[in-house]
Amino acid sequence: APAKAKKIPSKGNNMELSSDGEVDEGSWEMEEEEDGSSDEMVDDYGAASSEEEELLPIEKAALKQKSDRGGLSEDDSEEEEEEAEEASRQKMGQKEEESTDLQLNLDIDEQFKLPTNEQIEREDILFSRDIHKLFPPDLHVIHQRIKGNMEVLQDFAVKREEGHTRQEYLAVLRRDMAAYYSYSDFLLMKLMDIFPLPELINFLEANEVPRPVTIRTNTLKTRRRDLAQALINRGVNLDPLGKWSKTGLVIYDSSVPIGATPEYLAGHYMLQGASSLLPVMALAPQENERILDMCCAPGGKTSYIAQLMKNTGMILANDSNAERLRSVVGNLHRLGVTNAVVSNCDGRQFPKVLGGFDRVLLDAPCSGTGVISKDPAVKTNKDEKDILRCAHLQKELILSAIDSVNAASETGGYIVYCTCSIMVEENEWVVDYALKKRNVRLVATGLDFGKEGFTRFKDRRFHPSLKSTRRFYPHTHNMDGFFIAKFKKFSNAIPQAQKDEEPAVEAATPSTDPGTITEPQPKKKKLEGSKADKEQKPPQPALKKRHSLQAQRRPLKA
C-alpha cells in the first residue's frame, strides 16, 4: 500500500542542505495515522514497513483462517501437522521415483544405436535439396552420435549391435563428421586412412581453431631480447616460441597492430608461421655458400636463410609467379637482405638456367591440407585429381632440385623438400620416387621433435629410410601441418631407368653451360647413333658397288 507520508518542514529547520548535498534527516516527518501508528518507518521507495501491508492477499486469507480457527484444540493442530508431514513424505517419494526413472532413461539413451535406413534417406534428401540451409541439422544430436559411435568402435566386439558390421559404423561416422565439421567425403576418407579415429577427432577440432601468431626476429638488425622489450613497451603480450627456436616469438594479444609497428616497418621482425622456420633449420645453410630457394614467395624462408648466412655468399630466390615476387622484393629490402638475387623461372626447367648449388630448398606447391585453419575452403574444394596433379608437379620439381645441386660440394650437397600438406601422395610417395630416380639418400633433418614419416601406407611400401622424415600436426605441435625431408646427393650421374620401374616424370634436361654440374645426356644419343651405324653397315658395300657400276657405264655412253 502506498505510504501516507508528506514533506513537512520540521520546527526550527528550513530544509537546508548539508555539506555533502543531502537533506538533513530532521527535515522529514511522517504524518500520523488515524490509529496513532506514528512509529512506522518509510523505506526508500515510500512503502510502509508494517507487516500487514507487506502481506500478499493469499497470506492475509491464511491469517484470517487462523484467527477463525483459533478456538480449535491443540490436539487437532498436532494431527494437522502430522498429516502435512505425511503429505510431504509422499511428495518426496514421488520425486525420488521420477529421478530414478530419468536416470534409467539416460542409461538407456547412452547405448548408441545406428540410425535406420529411413532416417539416413530422409537426411540425404534434405541435404540434396539444400533444405538444410533453411532448416539446419541439430549439431548437438550429431555430436552426441559421433561420440557414441566412437565409443562403440573403440570396443567394437562388446558394444556393437548384432547384425551390423564395422563398415556400417564407419560409414555413419564419416557421414556425421562431414556434416558436423563441413568436410567433403573424399577428404574425410583420406584423413581416416592417415589418423586413428581418436586422433582424427583431435585433428578436426584443431583445424577449427586458428594457430597462434608467431614472428621471427631479424638478427641482421636486432636481438630477440631487445625486440621483445620494445614490443612489450608497446602493449604486446608475448613469449619465446620454444626451446627449439632462438629467434621465434609467439604473440598472445596486442593493443597495436602487430603488422604495422615501427619495429615491423624497420625490418626488425617478420610475421612467419612456426612451421615455416623448420625447413630452413633443417637446411642449415653455411656462410659463403650458393643456395637456391626454388619456390621462394613471399620471402620468409629466403630472408631467414640470409639471416643465418649473415648476408654472405649468394641466395637465388626463384618463383614462377611474377606477381608474388613483388612481395619477395619488398620483404628483402625491408629486412636488409643484400646477398639475394631474385629470378622468375619455371622450377621444372631450372637446371637449364643455372646449376652447381651447395644447397637447395624446395617448398613445393601443394593441396594445403595442413593449413585448413587458414583456408577452410580446402575442406570441400579438393578431390583426387587435385591431389594427383600436385603430386605430379612435385615429382618434376624435386628431380629438378636434385639436378641443380653439386654433389661434389665441400660443405653442401643437400636438398630439403617440404610441403604444407599431410597427404601421403604428396610427401612420402614423392620422396620415395626421388630415391629411385636419382643418386640421393635421406639423412636426419636435425629436428628434435615431430612424428616419423610413413614407411608403409595401405598397400604401398616405401623405403625404410623414410623414418628420418618428419611430420608436424596442428593437434600435437600447435603449428600448421607440415612435412620435411632432407636429401644428401652422393653422385652427379643420373641412373638409367629400368624397364620394371614405372615411367619417370620427364625431368628438365641439363644444359651444356659450364655452370651446370649434372652430367650431360647427349652421350646417350652418340651411343644410340653408333649402334645405328653398326646396324646400317651391311648394306653399305652394295651401295658402293652400285656407284662403281654407274661410274663405269658413263664413259661407255660418251
Per-residue pLDDT of 321-335, as tens digits, reads 999 999 999 999 999
Looking at the structure, tell me whether residues 393 and 364 fall in a common domain: yes
Nearest residue to 26 (alpha-carbon basis) of 53, 8, 44, 50: 8
- Dihedral class, residue 288 (left if φ above 0, else alpha if ψ from -120 to 50, else beta): left
% of the chain with per-residue pLDDT over 70: 66
Looking at the structure, tell me whether residues 479 and 333 fall in a common domain: yes
Grid coordinates belonging to 233: 613497451
**Which of these ranges, 68-77, 157-166, 176-185, has the smallest mean pLDDT?**
68-77
Q: Is the pTM of this model over 0.75?
A: no
Looking at the structure, tell me whether residues 321 and 448 fall in a common domain: yes
Model pLDDT, residue 352: 87
SS3 for 456?
strand
Of 271, 294, 318, which one is at a domain's C-terminal end? 271
pLDDT, tens digit (0-9, with 9 covering 90-100), for 184-242: 999 999 999 999 988 999 999 999 999 999 999 999 999 999 999 999 999 999 999 98
Beta-bridge mates of residue 316: 292, 341
Specify the higher pLDDT residue, 87 or 354: 354
Looking at the structure, tell me whether residues 145 and 257 fall in a common domain: no
d(CA 357, CA 347): 14
CA 227 to each of CA 116, 255, 422: distance values in angstroms, whole numbers, following the listed order: 61, 16, 34
d(CA 505, CA 397): 10
Of 472, 489, 506, which one is at a domain's C-terminal end? 489
Strands (E), 364-520: 414-419, 440-443, 451-452, 456-457, 460-461, 470-472, 482-489
Domain interval for residue 127: 117-181
Beta-bridge mates of residue 357: 405
List the CATH number of the domain containing 224: 3.30.70.1170
Model pLDDT, residue 290: 94
Of 11-15, 47-51, 291-295, where does the model show the most confidence? 291-295
List the CATH number of the domain containing 376: 3.40.50.150
Looking at the structure, tell me whether residues 328 and 407 fall in a common domain: yes
* Number of folded domains that form the chain: 3
Backbone angles phi, psi at 449, to 5 degrees: -130, 175
Looking at the structure, tell me whether residues 265 and 280 fall in a common domain: no
Helices (H) and strands (E) in the chain, counts: 19, 15
Looking at the structure, tell me whether residues 237 and 330 fall in a common domain: no
**Which of these ranges, 156-160, 285-289, 334-338, has the smallest mean pLDDT?**
156-160
* Exposure string over 90-109, b if 16+ CB within 10 A, otherwise e: eeeeeeeeeeeeeeeeeeee
Q: Which residues are annotated as a binding site for S-adenosyl-L-methionine?
A: 295-301, 319, 346, 363
Residue 293 inside a domain? The answer is: yes
Residue 63 inside a domain? The answer is: no
Residues in CB range of 543: below 8 A, 6 or more apart: none
Q: Looking at the predicted structure, is the pLDDT value of residue 517 above 60?
A: no
Q: How confident is the model at residue 136 (pLDDT cuts 50, 70, 90)?
A: low
Instruction: Show which residues are catalytic.
Output: 420
SS3 for 410?
coil
Looking at the structure, tell me whether residues 123 and 236 fall in a common domain: no
Model pLDDT, residue 499: 40
